[in-house]
Amino acid sequence: MFFEPRIPGNTGNAIRLAAVTGARLHLVEPLGFDMDEPKLRRAGLDYHDLAAVEVHADLDAALATLPGERVFAFTTSATTSFTDVVYRPGDVLLFGPEPTGLPEDVLAHPRLTDRLKIPMQPGRRSLNLTNAASIAVYEAWRQAGFPGGS
Protein backbone atom coordinates (compact mmCIF):
# COMPACT_ATOMS: atom_id res chain seq x y z
CA MET A 1 0.00 0.00 0.00
CA PHE A 2 1.38 3.36 -1.06
CA PHE A 3 0.11 6.29 1.02
CA GLU A 4 -0.19 9.44 -1.11
CA PRO A 5 2.52 8.55 -3.66
CA ARG A 6 3.88 11.52 -5.58
CA ILE A 7 6.25 10.20 -8.25
CA PRO A 8 4.56 8.46 -11.19
CA GLY A 9 7.62 6.41 -12.14
CA ASN A 10 7.81 4.85 -8.67
CA THR A 11 4.16 3.89 -8.79
CA GLY A 12 4.59 2.51 -12.31
CA ASN A 13 7.42 0.35 -11.01
CA ALA A 14 5.19 -0.76 -8.11
CA ILE A 15 2.52 -1.78 -10.62
CA ARG A 16 5.11 -3.94 -12.32
CA LEU A 17 6.16 -5.36 -8.93
CA ALA A 18 2.54 -6.25 -8.17
CA ALA A 19 2.17 -7.93 -11.54
CA VAL A 20 5.27 -10.12 -11.20
CA THR A 21 4.65 -11.15 -7.58
CA GLY A 22 0.87 -11.46 -7.57
CA ALA A 23 0.58 -8.79 -4.87
CA ARG A 24 -2.29 -6.29 -4.84
CA LEU A 25 -1.24 -2.63 -4.92
CA HIS A 26 -3.41 -0.24 -2.93
CA LEU A 27 -2.91 3.48 -3.62
CA VAL A 28 -4.19 6.02 -1.10
CA GLU A 29 -5.21 9.42 -2.46
CA PRO A 30 -4.36 12.12 -3.07
CA LEU A 31 -1.96 10.88 -5.72
CA GLY A 32 0.69 13.26 -6.99
CA PHE A 33 -0.12 12.34 -10.59
CA ASP A 34 -2.89 11.13 -12.87
CA MET A 35 -3.18 7.36 -13.35
CA ASP A 36 -2.84 7.98 -17.11
CA GLU A 37 0.48 9.80 -16.63
CA PRO A 38 2.93 8.76 -19.36
CA LYS A 39 5.79 8.27 -16.85
CA LEU A 40 3.61 5.91 -14.81
CA ARG A 41 2.68 3.95 -17.95
CA ARG A 42 6.29 3.80 -19.17
CA ALA A 43 7.66 2.59 -15.81
CA GLY A 44 4.98 -0.10 -15.59
CA LEU A 45 5.67 -1.22 -19.16
CA ASP A 46 3.01 -3.63 -20.38
CA TYR A 47 2.23 -4.92 -16.88
CA HIS A 48 -0.70 -2.60 -16.09
CA ASP A 49 -3.29 -5.14 -17.25
CA LEU A 50 -1.57 -7.90 -15.27
CA ALA A 51 -1.54 -6.06 -11.92
CA ALA A 52 -4.27 -5.75 -9.32
CA VAL A 53 -4.40 -2.06 -8.39
CA GLU A 54 -6.98 -0.30 -6.25
CA VAL A 55 -7.19 3.44 -5.57
CA HIS A 56 -8.78 4.60 -2.32
CA ALA A 57 -10.02 8.05 -1.23
CA ASP A 58 -8.12 7.91 2.07
CA LEU A 59 -6.33 5.54 4.43
CA ASP A 60 -9.44 4.57 6.38
CA ALA A 61 -11.25 3.66 3.14
CA ALA A 62 -8.28 1.55 2.07
CA LEU A 63 -8.06 -0.25 5.40
CA ALA A 64 -11.82 -0.84 5.42
CA THR A 65 -11.31 -3.10 2.38
CA LEU A 66 -8.83 -5.14 4.47
CA PRO A 67 -10.65 -5.42 7.81
CA GLY A 68 -8.83 -8.37 9.37
CA GLU A 69 -5.36 -7.91 7.97
CA ARG A 70 -2.23 -6.91 9.86
CA VAL A 71 -0.75 -3.57 8.79
CA PHE A 72 2.98 -2.95 8.90
CA ALA A 73 4.18 0.63 8.42
CA PHE A 74 7.66 1.01 6.98
CA THR A 75 9.60 3.92 8.45
CA THR A 76 13.23 4.76 9.12
CA SER A 77 12.27 5.61 12.72
CA ALA A 78 11.24 2.01 13.53
CA THR A 79 13.28 -0.28 15.75
CA THR A 80 11.95 -3.62 14.43
CA SER A 81 13.62 -4.98 11.29
CA PHE A 82 11.36 -6.13 8.47
CA THR A 83 13.17 -9.50 8.61
CA ASP A 84 12.02 -10.08 12.21
CA VAL A 85 8.40 -10.51 11.12
CA VAL A 86 6.82 -13.83 10.20
CA TYR A 87 4.55 -12.64 7.39
CA ARG A 88 1.13 -14.10 6.67
CA PRO A 89 -0.95 -14.00 3.49
CA GLY A 90 -2.97 -10.79 3.44
CA ASP A 91 -0.51 -8.70 5.46
CA VAL A 92 -0.48 -5.04 4.42
CA LEU A 93 2.90 -3.41 3.83
CA LEU A 94 2.37 0.36 4.11
CA PHE A 95 4.84 2.83 2.60
CA GLY A 96 4.83 6.62 2.72
CA PRO A 97 5.24 9.22 0.01
CA GLU A 98 8.46 10.43 -1.46
CA PRO A 99 10.36 12.27 0.01
CA THR A 100 8.70 12.62 3.42
CA GLY A 101 7.66 9.08 4.39
CA LEU A 102 4.62 8.35 6.51
CA PRO A 103 3.35 11.24 8.63
CA GLU A 104 3.01 10.85 12.40
CA ASP A 105 -0.80 10.67 12.31
CA VAL A 106 -0.55 7.65 10.01
CA LEU A 107 2.17 6.08 12.17
CA ALA A 108 -0.20 6.47 15.14
CA HIS A 109 -3.18 4.89 13.34
CA PRO A 110 -4.92 2.30 15.57
CA ARG A 111 -4.90 -0.32 12.79
CA LEU A 112 -1.09 -0.48 12.65
CA THR A 113 0.33 -3.76 13.85
CA ASP A 114 3.93 -2.57 13.98
CA ARG A 115 6.47 -0.16 12.51
CA LEU A 116 9.25 -1.80 10.51
CA LYS A 117 12.57 -0.64 9.12
CA ILE A 118 14.86 -1.83 6.38
CA PRO A 119 18.43 -1.61 7.72
CA MET A 120 20.73 0.88 6.01
CA GLN A 121 24.15 2.35 6.56
CA PRO A 122 24.21 5.17 9.13
CA GLY A 123 23.65 8.67 7.83
CA ARG A 124 21.54 7.59 4.85
CA ARG A 125 18.07 9.12 4.65
CA SER A 126 16.07 6.45 2.84
CA LEU A 127 15.73 3.99 -0.01
CA ASN A 128 13.77 4.67 -3.16
CA LEU A 129 10.08 3.95 -2.46
CA THR A 130 9.66 1.07 -4.89
CA ASN A 131 13.05 -0.39 -4.03
CA ALA A 132 11.97 -0.53 -0.37
CA ALA A 133 8.62 -2.05 -1.32
CA SER A 134 10.37 -4.63 -3.50
CA ILE A 135 12.66 -5.71 -0.69
CA ALA A 136 9.72 -6.13 1.69
CA VAL A 137 7.35 -7.79 -0.78
CA TYR A 138 9.96 -10.34 -1.81
CA GLU A 139 10.75 -11.19 1.82
CA ALA A 140 7.05 -11.80 2.55
CA TRP A 141 6.66 -13.79 -0.68
CA ARG A 142 9.82 -15.80 0.08
CA GLN A 143 8.51 -16.71 3.52
CA ALA A 144 5.30 -17.95 1.91
CA GLY A 145 7.30 -20.18 -0.45
CA PHE A 146 6.75 -18.02 -3.56
CA PRO A 147 3.19 -19.30 -4.24
CA GLY A 148 2.33 -18.96 -7.90
CA GLY A 149 5.95 -18.21 -8.79
CA SER A 150 8.08 -20.18 -11.16
Cβ neighbors of 64 (< 8 A, separation 6 or more) are none
> What pTM did the predictor assign?
0.93
Burial of 117 (0-12, 13-18, 19+ CB in 10 A): middle
All structural domains of the chain with their residue ranges: 2-143
Mean pLDDT, the chain cut into blocks of 10 residues (150 residues total) = 94 92 96 77 66 95 96 96 97 94 97 97 90 97 93
What integer pLDDT is reported at residue 48 of this predicted model?
73
CATH fold of 2-143: Alpha/beta knot (3.40.1280)
What integer pLDDT is reported at residue 42 of this predicted model?
61
- Residue 80: in which H helix or E strand, if any? strand 80-81
What integer pLDDT is reported at residue 45 of this predicted model?
54
Q: What is the pLDDT of residues 11-44, one digit of tens each?
A: 989 999 999 999 999 999 999 888 876 766 665 5
DSSP state of 95: B
